[in-house]
């Protein structure tokens, strides 16, 4: 969950500072939390992070993935050994690289 960790560590930037330095912030290609009077109101994420999130959403909403997960839950309830979620995500990522 690198995106989540990066977002938690992201600098907070006020709206006024963002307006004055937008191109500088965009060149940095790092997540930014935009604040208004000190309260987070928006987020800017690099394009690659957004594409990773879209791929994850596509994968977890895919009917085949949902079917596989439900079959796995049923198997675990019947006594089969389960796979940790982190292991599952690592396997999916490895398969995508093939």
Q: What one-character-per-residue DSSP string does the chain give? A: -HHHHHHHHPPEEEHHHHHHHHHHHHHHT--EEEEETTEEEEEE--HHHHHHHHHHHHHHH-HHHHHHHHHHHHHHHTTPPP--HHHHHHHHHHHHH-
Q: What tens digit of pLDDT does each residue of 3-26 get?
A: 778 788 899 999 999 999 999 999
- CATH fit for domain 1-61, picks 1.10.1200.10, 2.60.40.420, 3.40.1620.10, 2.40.30.10: 3.40.1620.10
Q: Has residue 73 got a pLDDT over 60?
A: yes
Instruction: Return the pLDDT at 16.
Output: 94
Instruction: Return the pLDDT at 85.
Output: 65
- The residue written with tokens 């079917």 in the block is 67
Q: Has residue 86 got a pLDDT over 70?
A: no
Instruction: Return the pLDDT at 84.
Output: 66
Q: Has residue 1 got a pLDDT over 60?
A: no
Judge contact between 51 and 96, C-beta under 8 A: no
Furthest-apart CA atoms within the chain: distance in Å: 60
């Amino acid at each position: 969950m690198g995106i989540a960790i990066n977002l938690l560590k992201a600098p907070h930037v006020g709206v006024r500072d963002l307006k004055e330095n937008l191109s500088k912030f965009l060149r940095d290609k790092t997540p930014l939390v935009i604040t208004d009077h000190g309260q987070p109101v928006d987020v800017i994420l690099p394009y690659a992070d957004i594409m990773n999130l879209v791929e994850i959403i596509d994968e977890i909403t895919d009917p085949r993935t949902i079917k596989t997960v439900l079959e796995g839950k049923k198997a675990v309830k019947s006594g089969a050994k389960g796979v940790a979620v982190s292991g599952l995500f690592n396997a999916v990522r490895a398969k995508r690289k093939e």
